[in-house]
Amino acid sequence: MTTHEMQAKFGGRTTATAAGGFTLVEVLVALFVLAVGLLGLASLQLNASRGNAQSGVGTRAVLIAQSRMEMLKSAAFADIKDGSGLSTLCNEDVKIKNSVGADVVFFQVTCTYAPQDTDGDGVDDLVDLDVTVQYPGASTPVHLISSRTSA
């Protein structure tokens, strides 16, 4: 087989390069492309981990707000109407343990009320309730709003 025939058979390469495999430059380029792709995947994994952690904290804040609202809605109307039940039922921050095991306030809970006389008889018969839970890293706090009637 002549050199011209070998070049035609192996796509323009001579027998020495056709049988030799990949060049060092080709291997380095392939490794660089692979490294860039793996770095991108690592970055995606890190962002997904952070998102999951923040979502879990947000879910806990919603659960705290829901439980406080349920406490307010199941309490006696008189305790809610004059605000005496708010401090014992609702306005208590939630603590978590930090990395050294000390309890620190993480979720700040605030409950507010607005009594109203809807029928004009001079007696409050409706209370608007607002439970707010704030926590570090939240762009907006969790708000739950509800109304409670005397009946």
Q: Give which of 139, 19, 137, 144 is closest to 71, Cα–Cα.
A: 144
Stated pTM of the model: 0.66
pLDDT digits 0-9 by tens, 106-150: 999 998 888 888 888 888 888 889 999 999 888 889 999 998 888
pLDDT digits 0-9 by tens, 15-73: 555 557 889 999 999 999 999 999 999 989 888 888 888 888 889 999 999 999 998 88
Query: Does residue 107 contact residue 99 with C-beta atoms inside 8 Å?
Result: no
Between CA 81 and CA 88, with CA 85 as vertex, the angle to 5 degrees is 160
Percent of the chain predicted with pLDDT > 90: 28
Domain that holds residue 104: 3-149
Q: What b-and-e string marks burial along 38-49, b requiring 16 or more CB atoms within 10 Å of the CB?
A: eeeeeeeeeeee
Query: Does residue 143 contact residue 128 with C-beta atoms inside 8 Å?
Result: no
How far is it, in rounded angstroms, from Cα 108 to Cα 143? 12
Q: In the predicted model, what is the mean pLDDT of the chain?
A: 83
Longest dimension (CA), the chain: 113
What's the structural domain count of the chain? 1
How far is it, in rounded angstroms, from Cα 92 to Cα 133? 10
